[in-house]
Structure 1
Amino acid sequence: MAPFFCGTCPPRITVETTLPVLEVQAWATPIITDRLIIRPLRLKDLEGFNALYSQPEVTALAFEGGEDPQYNLTSNFKLLVRRLKPWEQKNIFFAILSRTSDGEEGDYIGELGMQFGDGWPEIFYLLRKEYWGQGCATEAVKGFMKFWWDLPRSAATFEVHPDSIHGPGGKEEDSSGSPPKVKERMLGKAEKINGSSQKVLLKSGFERIERITTGLIQFQCIYPLADVELEAYRENTMTL
């Protein structure tokens, strides 16, 4: 997965904000929506995972451009195994599964992931073509974002690209102070030709960020409770 910002962009700035407390127990608990179950990838997902990454229509619309042009089981097995070790790549990968009438796991229909370690967290997702146009991607992203915003939080200080400090409507956020205090956000992006993916992000609470990037449109979703003072997060963290 390519970084959100390119190497030719302006230098980063250090900001003070919030981030979730990433406890293993939280990730292990499946996210349940009306039609879907979202949980970490497992080795038993190989058949569905291979079906997803063997569809050129899917990887052609992914800005990563497809992991392997041959789309074979061996290469996809190796890719799945790498994705079972998320922290080595600073990513976390989830399976998107259909939910049966009795609430059990059904078909593997796609993948949802989180990228860390390159500024703000970033969401990405892929869906098998036979499930396109059914609202599954929007349901998955909405379900995951509710889970993400409901996680406990702590104060955090790290570097971000200066253009990412925008409030609602694209207005630059008040970033006075040293380091500046800004609202936490999640990023997302979609290819300019992929209008469906852009609609998924917009329907899921993201807004477009006006920024020049070849072939990509970038989005952000700002933490809905980010007006809470950072000092409150420190107090809560210290009392855990």
Structure 2
Amino acid sequence: MFSLPRQAVTVMVPSKTPSLEGDRLRLRPVTDADIPAIFAIRSRPEVAKFNHPKAPFQTITEAREWLTSKTFATGPSEIVGRSFALAIVDKSIAAAQETMVGYVSINTLDPCPQIGYSVLPEHWGKGYATEAVQMMLRLWWQLPRREFPSMFSRDEDDEVEKVYAICEKENHGSCRVLTKCGFEQIDEIRYEADELYFWAACRPCTD
């Protein structure tokens, strides 16, 4: 039976997630003001098809609950209540009309960090997901770390800190995104009726 790897939390998640500028995109913390935009993304059937649960959102309340779920509920006390969810903003859109065209986040840190992302279908094929995931990972790896606590143990193959992702086998676009962002497929799993790939990306060496 498949079980997620265990990785002790050493990252120091800031109380306010920093923003990041790229060539075409801006990543900034997701806020309550983004709930309508989250609903616009998660209510689309073509987006819900590859998410869990697969039912498109029907109400704004579901979008609000989704955002609440991005707050870390378990782990070291200093990260509980914090989050690392970023809105993807197209910099070519005038500031007065700015709205998120997608999101990328670390969904959970316990038992291991897992990434999630979605982009409005109108912006598929532009490379936004790839660019946003690369930017978020760069920001994530740059966060300060605590010394590895000896009271925790890692899985045997988990000497290097990693970020993980799960996507459906049929989600070829997401598979390409993860490959371009340095993830490697490490397992195949089945969850209910879904056939999934399990991916991992290692923290770059800093020496």
2:189 matched to 1:213? yes
The answer to which structure has the higher helix fraction is 1
In the alignment, the residues of structure 1 paired with residue 9 and residue 35 of structure 2 have an alpha-carbon distance, to the nearest angstrom, of: 35
Aligned partner of residue 88 in structure 1, secondary structure = coil
Aligned partner of residue 147 in structure 2, secondary structure = strand
Q: Which residue number in structure 1 is paired with residue 36 of structure 2?
A: 47
In the alignment, the residues of structure 2 paired with residue 33 and residue 86 of structure 1 have an alpha-carbon distance, to the nearest angstrom, of: 25
- From 131, 135, 143, the equivalent of 1:139 is 131
In the alignment, the residues of structure 2 paired with residue 87 and residue 193 of structure 1 have an alpha-carbon distance, to the nearest angstrom, of: 29
Q: Which residue number in structure 2 is paired with residue 65 of structure 1?
A: 53
Aligned partner of residue 154 in structure 1, secondary structure = coil
Deviation at 1:191, TM superposition (A): 0.5
Q: Which residue number in structure 2 is paired with residue 110 of structure 1?
A: 102
Aligned length: 194
Q: Which residue number in structure 2 is paired with residue 176 of structure 1?
A: none
Deviation at 1:98, TM superposition (A): 1.4
In the alignment, the residues of structure 2 paired with residue 55 and residue 36 of structure 1 have an alpha-carbon distance, to the nearest angstrom, of: 22
Give the aligned CA root-mean-square deviation in angstroms.
Answer: 2.9
2:180 matched to 1:203? yes
In the alignment, the residues of structure 2 paired with residue 141 and residue 52 of structure 1 have an alpha-carbon distance, to the nearest angstrom, of: 17
Quick one: structure 1 residues 45 and 69, their matched pair in 2 at CA, closer, same or farther if it must change by over 3 Å? closer
Aligned AA for 1:108?
M
In the alignment, the residues of structure 2 paired with residue 104 and residue 184 of structure 1 have an alpha-carbon distance, to the nearest angstrom, of: 40
Deviation at 1:95, TM superposition (A): 1.5
Can you give the 5+ residue segments of structure 1 that lack an aligned partner in the other structure?
A: 1-7, 167-181, 229-240
> Equivalences for 1:1-240 in 2 at 5 Å?
8-9=1-2, 19-25=10-16, 27=17, 29-62=18-51, 64-66=52-54, 69=56, 71-80=58-67, 82-83=68-69, 86-88=71-73, 92-100=84-92, 106-157=98-149, 158=152, 165=157, 182-209=159-186, 211-214=187-190, 215-225=195-205
Deviation at 1:159, TM superposition (A): 5.0
* Rg larger in structure: 1
Task: Decide whether the 8 Å contact of 1:116 with 1:122 is kept in 2.
Answer: yes
Aligned AA for 1:184?
E
In the alignment, the residues of structure 2 paired with residue 152 and residue 104 of structure 1 have an alpha-carbon distance, to the nearest angstrom, of: 34
**Please, what TM-score do these two structures have when normalized by structure 1?**
0.69
Identity rate, percent: 26
Q: Deviations over 1:114-156 (max 9, x none)?
A: 1334332111111111111110000000001111112222222
Can you give the 5+ residue segments of structure 2 that lack an aligned partner in the other structure?
A: 75-79
